[in-house]
Copies of this chain bind each other. A is one copy, B any other.
Amino acid sequence: MTEKELENLFNAEPVNPAMLKSILLDMNTADIAELFEDLKIEKVIRVFRLLPKYTASEVFSNLEADKQQILVEALTDTEVGEIINNLFADDAVDFIEEMPANAVKRVLRNVSPEKRKVINQLLQYPEDSAGSIMTTEYIDLPEKATVKEAFDLIRATGLNKETIYTCYVIRPDRQLIGIVSAKTLMLSALTDKIGDIMDSNPLFVFTADDQEMVAGLFKKYGFLAMPVVDRERQLVGIITVDDIVEIIEEENTEDFEKMSALNPSDEPYLKTSIFALTRNRILWLLVLMLSATVTGGIISSFQDALSVLPILVAFIPMLMDTGGNAGSQASTLIIRGMALGEIELKDIVKVLWKEIRVGIFCGLGLGAVNFLRVYFMNGRNAALAFMVSLSLSATVLMAKSFGCVLPMIAKKLRLDPAIMAAPIITTIIDGASLAVYFSVAKVMLGI
């Protein structure tokens, strides 16, 4: 069935419930959610009510926040309670965090007391911490259980767990003492004791650990899930790889935004208001605009050189742009390398030495081409061509050096290296390159 036919079926009036339901049950919940995005809310509600409750909750967790909110407003208290009760705790928390306060009250009033307790607990972890992204539906086993007992437990409770592929072995006081994968369980004898086959040295994270660090562990070890413990090392939740994939993309988006002088925002572009978009941009634009005043001041202070040789002005854009580009090339590589853990602070001398050499080669290459261009396009004025090219080479070298060092200094100062990207580097290099340019000019002009 094509997407079009499906949509027709959704839009049919009157709806054929039996046929629609059988089609829905064959679909992936992410696809149902996608179809809902473009459907009128009355249709969404009618179709939503056809779904079995687990499927309904899964579809709900795949909807965008604004659609979730509209849907919840249109459903009865009982229906809302049922949906949230059947959501995994992390998805329930994701949803609630986006809600206005009065809607949150209504939701929490209608969920089961146990779920309410879990949700309230998860809501208390700081944003971007392991605690804030974990969920509480995991399988825990006592170390004395046998493999057979483990299978029985999985069979009895596994349907409602976020993953059954890693089971967590805990002591009666909930201290995490090991993990055992479903693979190990399947490859072991039914009479084996969990305590004998478990990995008794499992990696775990604390609730307060940063999500970016947690994502790094998943990347390094290729985990499907990781346990989260509190300060007493008691197991309180798990994080699964599907959430980590989302976090990796979030962190990357944040870096892209910071590197373009934007205040990071979680909302998708098309759903962000004009006001929010403006607010996320204007502060940095203002700061950088006022900083560029310094560069303007440098030019003004060299008015004498400019009045002797007005053609000097024509090379300002080329110098500024090339300096900015050369610097942002270097800073991007360093920022990205640090984000991926490929470059560490201790490498700073190695990095600087690399960039100095690359800067010399790039500077000489660009300088040579530029010399020829200026020479032949400006009445074979070798002095002018040399002056501009020398400034250009020096600019590239400075840009590469600043571009690699500034992000590392930012990291050393515990700032986010991503803020030391193109916009700031460009502003700094602009001033430096024009100062060099006019100084060279003055010396050569003998002013």
A interface residues with partner B (beta carbon < 8 Å): 26, 28, 30, 151, 154-155, 158-159, 164-165, 182-183, 186-187, 201, 203, 218-222, 224, 241-242, 244-246, 248-249, 252-253, 255-257, 259-262, 268-270, 274, 277-278, 281-282, 284-286, 288-290, 292-293, 295-297, 299-300, 303, 306-307, 310-311, 313-318, 320-322, 324-326, 328-329, 331-337, 340, 342-343, 347, 350-351, 354, 357-358, 361-362, 365-366, 369-370, 373, 392, 396, 422-423, 426-427, 430, 434
Tell me the complex Cα distance, A242–B245, Å: 10
Tell me the complex Cα distance, A311–B362, Å: 33
| Chain B residues whose CB sits within 8 angstroms of the CB of A290 once the complex forms | 369, 373
| Chain B residues whose CB sits within 8 angstroms of the CB of A369 once the complex forms | 286, 289-290
Tell me the complex Cα distance, A256–B182, Å: 38
* A317 and B320 contact, Cβ closer than 8 Å, known pairs A187-B159, A245-B241, A269-B334: yes
Instruction: Provide a sorted-by-A list of 19 A–B residue pairs whose CB atoms are within 8 angstroms.
Output: A151-B186, A154-B187, A241-B241, A256-B332, A261-B328, A262-B329, A269-B333, A278-B358, A278-B365, A285-B325, A289-B366, A290-B373, A299-B314, A299-B316, A300-B314, A303-B310, A313-B313, A320-B320, A324-B324
Tell me the complex Cα distance, A154–B278, Å: 57
| Chain B residues whose CB sits within 8 angstroms of the CB of A274 once the complex forms | 354, 357-358, 361
Tell me the complex Cα distance, A187–B153, Å: 10
Min CB distance, A88 to chain B, in Å? 11
Q: Decide: B324 and A313 in contact? CB cutoff 8 A.
A: no
Nearest B residue to A307, CB-CB:
B310
Min CB distance, A8 to chain B, in Å? 19
Min CB distance, A7 to chain B, in Å? 15
Min CB distance, A334 to chain B, in Å? 7
Tell me the complex Cα distance, A285–B187, Å: 57
Tell me the complex Cα distance, A318–B310, Å: 20
Q: Decide: B281 and A329 in contact? CB cutoff 8 A.
A: yes
| Chain B residues whose CB sits within 8 angstroms of the CB of A260 once the complex forms | 325, 328-329, 331-333, 422
Tell me the complex Cα distance, A25–B340, Å: 27
Q: Decide: A28 and B297 in contact? CB cutoff 8 A.
A: no
Nearest B residue to A319, CB-CB:
B292
Min CB distance, A42 to chain B, in Å? 24
Could you say which of B183, B245, B256, B342 contacts A256, with CB atoms under 8 Å apart? B256
Tell me the complex Cα distance, A377–B309, Å: 26
Tell me the complex Cα distance, A182–B185, Å: 12
Q: Decide: A224 and B249 in contact? CB cutoff 8 A.
A: no
Min CB distance, A311 to chain B, in Å? 7
Tell me the complex Cα distance, A365–B277, Å: 14
Tell me the complex Cα distance, A224–B159, Å: 17
Tell me the complex Cα distance, A220–B358, Å: 41
Q: Decide: A246 and B262 in contact? CB cutoff 8 A.
A: no
Nearest B residue to A242, CB-CB:
B222
| Chain B residues whose CB sits within 8 angstroms of the CB of A306 once the complex forms | 310, 313
| Chain B residues whose CB sits within 8 angstroms of the CB of A427 once the complex forms | 321
| Chain B residues whose CB sits within 8 angstroms of the CB of A392 once the complex forms | 289
Tell me the complex Cα distance, A246–B337, Å: 14
Q: Decide: B311 and A300 in contact? CB cutoff 8 A.
A: yes
Q: Decide: A219 and B246 in contact? CB cutoff 8 A.
A: yes
Tell me the complex Cα distance, A164–B187, Å: 11
| Chain B residues whose CB sits within 8 angstroms of the CB of A365 once the complex forms | 278, 282, 286
Nearest B residue to A34, CB-CB:
B220
* A322 and B289 contact, Cβ closer than 8 Å, known pairs A260-B328, A261-B329: yes
Nearest B residue to A303, CB-CB:
B310
Nearest B residue to A302, CB-CB:
B313
Tell me the complex Cα distance, A201–B22, Å: 13
Q: Decide: A262 and B332 in contact? CB cutoff 8 A.
A: yes
